[in-house]
Amino acid sequence: MSGETRQRPPNGGRTKPAMRDALVAAALELFVERGFEQTTIDDIVALAGVGRRSFFRYFPSKEAVVFPDHERCLADMSTFLAAGAPDDDPVHRVCDAARLVARMYADNPAFSVRRYGLTRQVPGLRTHELSVVRRYERVLADFLRARFAVRPDRTLRADVVAASVVAAHNHALRAWLRSGGSGDVLVDVDQALEYVHQAWCDLCAAPGAGGGADGDPADDVVVVFARRGVPMWRLVQGVEAALGET
């Protein structure tokens, strides 16, 4: 297809969201067809039928147009975390926050799967994606650091729990993307997040911690945390409570 036939006249009558959507659709189409490096911003605006300045009104770079919803999702995540009650289980809260990302992918499966294929092929998009993932991880870690304030290990624990949550989320998300979007990604992400929730939650009774999210219930593991120096009877009480035997 020649460059001429791919050009639309600038359309001043379209709404802003429609212009933005048109830029995203045009960019992905051209990147898949011609290659990311071979496509210029001029090519994208010509196909979308908008002016060059409109592109930069919505996106700071050619990489950013491939991930159009992460900025909104990062903002939603911060808002969601800030809205929690102070006595919420913080690990549960960050797992729920991570689900916002999965939902964004699930809202547009065809686009998500197509973009995944493109991202595997273009190193510049891979590194852009890594920097976005790192931003999510920092939002989660910052929240946990504040909520773990009374723990002596708060900053280390916050970083490790945030990394665990992001790794579990991305594990399930990537498997779904690799499968071409078959099955319910939200169910898979829930299972993966529950796995890390159980491993790191210290408000939970914690059956399954350190064990298998998909293991046999008969293999359930009980975990008891206690300060050194706590009398033995308190520990036994804790164990009994965890086992549901009291």
Q: Does 119 contact its own copies by CB under 8 A?
A: no
Q: Does 168 contact its own copies by CB under 8 A?
A: yes
- Considering the complex, state which of residue 18 and residue 156 has its C-beta at the smaller distance from its own copies: 156
- Considering the complex, state which of residue 48 and residue 196 has its C-beta at the smaller distance from its own copies: 196
Place of tokens 């945390």: 225
Q: Does 116 contact its own copies by CB under 8 A?
A: no
- Residue from the set 121, 127, 182, 237 that interacts with its own copies by CB under 8 A: 127
| Alpha carbon distance 141, 78 (integer Å) | 11
Q: Does 202 contact its own copies by CB under 8 A?
A: yes
| Alpha carbon distance 242, 228 (integer Å) | 18
List of residues 6+ apart from 225 with CB closer than 8 A:
202
Q: How many CB atoms lie within 10 A of CB 223?
A: 17
Q: Does 28 contact its own copies by CB under 8 A?
A: no
| Alpha carbon distance 59, 65 (integer Å) | 6
Please, are residues 211 and 224 in contact by the beta-carbon 8 Å criterion?
A: no
- Considering the complex, state which of residue 102 and residue 162 has its C-beta at the smaller distance from its own copies: 162
| Alpha carbon distance 95, 206 (integer Å) | 16
- Considering the complex, state which of residue 82 and residue 218 has its C-beta at the smaller distance from its own copies: 218
- The stretch among 44-52, 67-75, 99-107, 163-171 that binds its own copies (CB under 8 A) is 163-171
CA 90 vs. chain centroid, Å, equals 17
List of residues 6+ apart from 115 with CB closer than 8 A:
28, 66, 67
Q: Does 241 contact its own copies by CB under 8 A?
A: no
CB of 47 to its own copies, least distance (A): 28
Q: Does 98 contact its own copies by CB under 8 A?
A: no
CA 84 vs. chain centroid, Å, equals 19
Count the site residues for its own copies by CB under 8 A.
58
- Residue from the set 75, 210, 237, 241 that interacts with its own copies by CB under 8 A: 210
- Considering the complex, state which of residue 4 and residue 214 has its C-beta at the smaller distance from its own copies: 214
Please, are residues 155 and 146 in contact by the beta-carbon 8 Å criterion?
A: no
- Residue from the set 75, 146, 221, 241 that interacts with its own copies by CB under 8 A: 221
Q: Does 195 contact its own copies by CB under 8 A?
A: yes
Helix axes 16-34, 109-121, angle to 10 degrees: 40
Amino acid letter at 73?
A: C
> Using CB under 8 A as the criterion, which residues of the chain lie in contact with its own copies when the complex forms?
126-128, 130-131, 134, 151-153, 155-157, 159-160, 162-164, 166-168, 170-172, 192, 195-196, 199-200, 202, 207, 209-216, 218-230, 232, 235-236, 239-240, 243, 245
